[in-house]
Structure 1
Amino acid sequence: MQDVLEPEADSASAHHRHTSGISIRNHSQAFVGLARDMYFAASHSPEEASEQAAIVCHNALFLTDRYVDCERVIGAKGARVAGVCEWITRDAKYRAWLSGGNNGDSNDNDNTRLLWSLGGPGKAKKMTSVFLIEELERHTERIDKAELVFFFSSVEDEKRNTAVAVLRGLVHWIIAKRPQLVEHALPCFELLERTQQTLSSPEVLWLILDKLVADA
């Protein structure tokens, strides 16, 4: 009987040698056991769990890098010719929009602050957009707690040619700039089915965006 028990005793002794020096502190991760019989234990604090949920939410929203999209426009259209786009900074409607005032149209709503620039093919809309991004980045740097958020839509790119794509891009970037605002989006990403619905629903994404902007 002793011959039968000795291997188990040796195994227990080896197991003790492997584990006796390991302690598991609060909120740490550790593994114990023999090489052939490994056991894992993990514990996460509420703060760590919240941080992980925020990361999952933010990553799920990602579609495309807007700065890469901007560089694609420049690469496709070529470098901007100096003096071509500066006219817009002198436009009365643009200046009124930038300052938050009414542009003279009696139908304007001061709280809307929407500037719509449109033009036919070949009117340098994309290059003007690139120019405005550069201008507005410099402008917002001088304003406390101001952030510039933009999204390049493209009819040729299925990742960037829908309302869902635009909303996901804006929500993703606002959360990247103001991580504390992710709390407004987290309830919509708690379950896989809910996440899938959120990522394909312009209505849900609009509600999230509205909350982000209101709290920004």
Structure 2
Amino acid sequence: MVASSVGEIVWVLGIVGWYVIRYPFERRAKRVRVVTNRRSPSEIVGLVSALFGLAILPGFYVATGTPEAADYPARWWAVALGAIIFASALWVFRRSHKELGRNWSITLEIRERHALVSGGPYALVRHPMYTSFMLMGLGQAFLLSNWVAGLAGLIGFAVLFFLRVDKEERMMLENFGPQYRAYMERTKRIIPYLY
């Protein structure tokens, strides 16, 4: 089996794993009443960009091989590194969901009895779910030996992050006030100790 095929298989398994992790939290979240909703057109653009870059475009590439002109030779070391990074992304993704519990939402929402979560991965970064998306995009870049499909995940993540994170932090400041400000002072956004 060639490295490019293994990379594609690992990517598909990673996406399936992502959905398996997310699905039960998505179902549970629907049962908790939303008290504040900050959905906006820019947030929808960010979510669609992330979905397109992390799933739709690379899925199309894996299924069809298009755009073939952007292919480059796959390397076993890159596939191994991509698998480790993607597995790390899934671990952070699951831990983030577990810590958030009933507070989780796919959009900018405050739920009934919403609590500020600062344990687990939230002890190091304020947005570990974005950290997981960044790691997924990076893993995808190593797993898929195609300049377009491989890099689409990082681009999709970046669009989501930059359209949404400031709004999310403003919403949390409005809801939790000084408690969230103190939390911001002791944590980084998405990369522990750096940013």
Compute the TM-score of the two structures, normalised by the length of structure 1. Answer: 0.27
Compute the TM-score of the two structures, normalised by the length of structure 2. Answer: 0.29
Query: Of Structure 1 and Structure 2, which has the larger fraction of its residues in helix?
Result: 2
Larger Rg: 1
